[in-house]
Amino acid sequence: MKVTDLPIPAPLKQSYTTKGIKSLYPPQEEAVRCGIFEGKNLLCAIPTASGKTIVAEMVMHRQVEDGGKCLYIVPLKALASEKYEDFSEKGLSVGVATGDLDRRDAYLGRNDIIVATSEKVDSLLRNKAPWLGEITLLVVDECHLVGSEDRGATLEMVIAKLRRRNPEMQVIALSATVGNPGALAGWLDAELVTSEWRPVDLREGVYWQGAVHFEDYTREVPKPSKDDDLNLCLDTIDEGGQCLVFVNSRRNAEAFAKRAASKLKVSDPTLESAAERIEKRASTEMGRTLARCVKGGAAFHHAGLAAAERHEVEEGFRTGAIKVISSTPTLAAGLNLPARRVIVRDYLRFGQNGMARIPVGEYKQMAGRAGRPHLDPYGEAVLIAKREDACEDLFETYIAAPPEEVHSQCNAENALRSHILSLITTGFAKSRTEVLAFMETTFYAYEHQGRSSTIQETVERVVDDLVRAEMIDELDEWLEGTTYGNLVSRLYIDPRTAEAVVEALRLRPAYSDFGVLELLCETPDMLTLFLRKADYEVVDHFLAERRDELWTGVPYEYDEREHFLQSVKTAMLLLNWAEEVTDEMICERFNVGPGDIHNKVETAVWLLYATSRLAHLFAPDLERPIGELGTRVKHGIKRELLPLIKLRGIGRVRARRLFNAGLTTPEDIKNAGVRRLAPVLGEKTAASVIVQAGGTVEEREEVPDVETADEPIPKPPGEHQTSLSAFGGANHE
């Protein structure tokens, strides 16, 4: 099927032709035959890189041409930016919704395509963003995540709500790893395209003692080093390819990259300048290690990296300069970084129940990265067997096995509490009967058709609980959100978090930064740091001094106590950050990377904001100090810098510099004059802040040119935290 014959807008045809996309891949053809251009729903369950995104993109352009608007749901923020860049190139207006979780983001609705995570869409629904009613096409990328334990219920409810809201809306769901595509397609009233077809041949095998065993042949691997994993890389790099190596912890990723760099001995000016850039920005030992690895042609990748470091690694790999990346599974989750050989070195991973095998779906995600379309003659995915008898087992368990089936997570009481609250506060359901009727439209109900279901009991329990918590009023059979319940729903916090906060606020505690932060770290909305052995003593010592400031009780049960101590440790990190302790020191003290600091800060800022709004209702005198702590945590500053941080262009570094130069308020700045300020801020910023502070800049004065860029606050690694990053907080993900 030729691209020129498709019913898609001419500019898109042109863009495809320029990129060398002239005819459709077989699964894409099948999708067209299924009626995607006639508005049919589709589940496209085909391998990675077989052209799923383009199927969705063609329909999006067609819909926009017909006056429609498209919503594209991705699982990770990092993917949202990638899709944004990809889609923006082709003439339509694209918006990414990654902002605060309690906004309507009206401006977003002006775009033709809106890319967002499921959490963001959920919050937009709760905040009643009016443009959601205009969506004519919903694309759900990585739709197997409906089965994810921690986030699946949100995705499922979002799909169900949007379909209820816009009954005519077309749905296109995409996934490379669904074990039961028929069931998902059935729920979505969708046509189904499944296929094993790939643009690049994928060979999957198991390595054991010097050779990779594929189904029908064996490939010898030379042994220039004593390490099997490294030999597997060198083999591919020698023939002109690149490698991705998946390992199970951050430490392992870093150790492998170091070994690889020392063996590769690449010399490349591009790498040298990348390494210099990383080194220059590096605020931690990890950053400096990364710079050394990159110089040698290897890199590691995990959620502890700062955003700029991630970017360098990904770009270096895309251009072919970096030959090998060792990574925790973050990379497999969807970033488009294919390589000729993918090595799944660790198929065991430490999880909540100790060491366990990774799921088949996860293996398939990793293996699917093998083989760059148009660039590699083939792709290879290689598992490394730890024992001879593991060879056959690995073939059966991973290579020959289908990915896991996807099952609804909507019967979990904890997940449902938040979703049922939002159904009621947004008017989707006004009675218990209507809540149940809505639940009938979920995948959960579809999966349990004709079988006895416990959903009714769960719903009853959850509604009772929300009424008890005063988030919902029940009058006769009618349910209505209270002011408090409406706020909780819009703030997008777990009702259990809200309850814990309100319970503490009602006791009118004496204000304390530590008290608030520790309380928030105990809630289900914060993933706490792990405790290492050495941490117990430090945390105990800290507690001995500041126990009086706690807003919660100290538990004595072992499990609860462990969680409590983890919360104290996490609160300590946030306090350090708000006391202007350097990144380097925080990373060392807490055994984290800059990316982790950002994750914790981001979550804390959101929870502090929510807490200040709750304080407005329940303890108004505490609203202001909590709000101020939010600003301090956001910027990483002591209280004394609060007046300065209000000025645009002033971050934690510049504010500190101004303060130390004796300029402590906007009034001081207004009166200081460009000549005094420029050496601290640079001429342009100096002029801007003087004007902001109400002063005037009359003449241009000769001032020394100094480098004054504010140190960027670490950018997010891009994801919402997942349960994985609970372990990542120490050094896994």
Q: By the criterion CB under 6 A, which residues form the site for ligand ADP?
A: 19, 21, 24-25, 28, 48-54, 373
**Closer by beta carbon to ligand ADP, 84 or else 256:** 84
Q: Which is nearer to ligand ADP, 81 or 397 (CB)?
A: 81
Minimum CB separation of residue 192 from ligand ADP in Å reads 16
Q: How far is the CB of 56 from ligand ADP (least distance, A)?
A: 8
Place of tokens 């067997």: 385
Residue 621's CB: how many other CB atoms inside 10 A? 9
> Is the Cβ–Cβ distance between 652 and 713 less than 8 Å?
yes
- Comparing CB distances to ligand ADP, the nearer of 153 and 406 is 406
As to burial, measured by CB atoms within 10 angstroms (0-12 exposed, 13-18 middle, 19+ buried), residue 430 is middle
The secondary structure element, H or E, covering residue 478 is strand 478-481
Q: How far is the CB of 15 from ligand ADP (least distance, A)?
A: 10
- Residue 372's SS3 state is coil
3 state SS for 76-109: CHHHHHHHHHHHHCCCCCEEEECCCCCCCCHHHH
- The H or E element spanning position 140 is strand 137-140
Q: Give CA separation, 478 vs 206, 419, 427, 438, 490, in Å.
A: 60, 18, 11, 15, 21
Least distance (Å) between residue 363 CB and ligand ADP: 17
CB 438 within 8 A of CB 428: yes
Contact call for residues 169 and 134 (beta carbons, < 8 A): no
The one-letter code for the residue type at 439 is M
By C-beta, is 74 or 358 nearer to ligand ADP? 74
> Which helix (DSSP H) or strand (DSSP E) does residue 433 occupy?
helix 432-439
Q: Which is nearer to ligand ADP, 69 or 372 (CB)?
A: 372
Least distance from C-beta 554 to ligand ADP, angstroms? 50
Decide whether 89 or 477 has the Cβ nearer to ligand ADP: 89
Token pair listed for 231: 């030999």
Give the SS3 label for residue 175: strand
Name the residue nearer to ligand ADP (CB basis): 54 or 153. Answer: 54
Q: Which residues contact 310 (CB under 8 A, 6 or more apart)?
A: 78, 301, 595, 717, 718
Comparison of 152 and 371: residue with beta carbon closer to ligand ADP = 371
Smallest distance from the beta carbon of 84 to ligand ADP, in angstroms? 14
CB neighbours (10 Å) of residue 725?
22
Residues 82/147, Cβ–Cβ less than 8 Å? no
Q: How far is the CB of 176 from ligand ADP (least distance, A)?
A: 7
| Shortest Å distance, C-beta 651 to ligand ADP | 37
Give the nearer residue to ligand ADP in terms of CB position, either 50 or 489: 50
C-alpha dist (Å) from residue 288 to 253, 276, 590: 15, 10, 18
- In whole angstroms, the minimum distance from the beta carbon of 716 to ligand ADP comes to 24
